[in-house]
Structure 1
Amino acid sequence: MMMKPLGSAAHAMEETIETVIRDAPLFEGGRDVVYGPVSGGISNENWRVKRKDGSGDWFVKVPGNGTEMFIDRDAAMDASRKAAAAGLGPRVHDDLAHRGVEINDFLPDRRASTHSDFADIENCRAAISAYRTMHALPALGLTKTVFDMIDEHAQQVAELGGRKYREDAWLRLNTQLAREAIDASGVDLVASFNDPMPGNFMIGEDGSIMLIDYEYASMNDRCYDLGIWFGEMFFTPERELELIEAYFGEVRPEIISRVTVHKALADVKWSLWSMVQLEVSRLDFDFHKYGMWKKMRARSIMEAPDWATHLRRL
């Protein structure tokens, strides 16, 4: 990672992080620090800030342009603090929290996972352990189910005059069918992570996993957390059954259905999120391609012959 001294900003995002460094008491006005970008995020501007003498090493998250539309920074800090207290996440520093900037201890003894890491069942079991810890956290200050997220993004796309998918009405119809089925069966609210990008799983040398990036965390159905993770990791049906058993201690048809339905809903949510980001983000990322992929995978689940069966047995 290329680290730069304060005062060498070459573009707007570097100017922003330099302002943060000067303003945060933790960094003492930028004395003896260097900074560099951390790759992998698609919402915010992420940075590593270090003291040259090695006495401090931090991860700094600067809110991405427009993210205030769908991220409650106070709620994110609440989740981060509770996760840190449980040993699930890194230490949180409150400097500039009032401006939405999150500062954590960097985790140099851990590495961000990749999709290939989760081909190993032991890494999957470590992640299940992390999810159990997450779901047992004290109640978070924000309740936001996948349906709340979908409604929010749909309204934002409309307000921004953003692009709509050709199948928009069809997706909305199937989302409503899922909403009615889940409402009838009851929502199992727990403290949920909601954002299982591989880079958010930090693997230690002992094989344990810590979670980072709690900005999408909320009280949500636990099966959403499992469903979105299964989809993100492209698990086979056989691996999904293994992990359902690892989490619940058993495999029942209604659990499989609940996870499957939430997997489809997660893709609907992120496909709409992508259309919002396409309008507001300044990150160099192909949000259109990402959204189309999510939309097509949601269709693949909702168009399958067993979709109606899944809805009936929730």
Structure 2
Amino acid sequence: MPLVDAAGLLTAARARRGAVAAFNVITLEHVEAVLEGAEHAGVPVILQISENAVRYRRGDPLPLARAATAAASAAAVPAALHLDHVRDPALLRRAAEAGCSSVMVDAAHLPYRENLAACAAAARWARANGLWTEAELGVVGGKAGSPSPDPHHPAARTDPEAARSFTAASGVDALAVAVGSRHAMTTRTAALDHRLLARLAQRVPVPLVLHGSSGLPEHELVAAVRGGITKVNIGTALNVALTTGVRAALVGDTEVVDPRRWLAGGRSAMAAAVARLAALVHHPPAAPEDGAGPARAAEPLPGG
């Protein structure tokens, strides 16, 4: 079916007290795996193209975005396209051309007032062009080339009152919050501050977004969604699944040269990870009363 708006998916998810899984895609295999996994789970999904992915694709968002649009048109579940972690204003203004219905402005590394100004300007432009805007307040570390502070250090976390004021002043439609997750984790050992998340959910009127979700065990993801997260961003889990599948194929057959033979297993592994995670956050099972559950051993990443 044609691409749908992320706004509608997130509004519906919030109403049912669930979330939408948003997967970062880099290759066509990522796109196909995300849609296959979402179809298997029977749930909607968001395809995300980050500024880093655009840079890898030689600076042009259109080839991957148009491939995603074409693949989504043949999918049996609703899918939206989102431009993720954008710092370049010129790229931001190509979001609508690329078919995206939402964009995340990556300005949380700036001082508060500069972050606010950048997000307010982006939100005005996005609203005029029919797009939703996501911003970030707090420090979700782990991105390549950026410092990675302790995610539980008070200075890294999102302050609820600041988040309320920031959202009102900037006019953004969704807010990514720092509550203990970190980008690029290859082990599922992160733990969230669920009390802080509850306070944020009470004070912030727009959907809350969790970045760095690949590092969370499944019971933490469930608790996060039950605690107020509406959009769950996942990237590294797919890359682990793809790389694991490709590595196994190449090690198992040192004579193989046809890339279809070694990419197929990685694509299937990504699709399996998507199906499990997308279904989990779409309508998570009831969490324990304390919101976090008992301590558990670290879980492997899907496909890893």
Q: Same fold (TM over 0.5)?
A: no
TM-score normalised by length of structure 1: 0.28
Higher helix share: 1
TM-score normalised by length of structure 2: 0.29
Quick check: which has more Rg, 1 or 2? 1
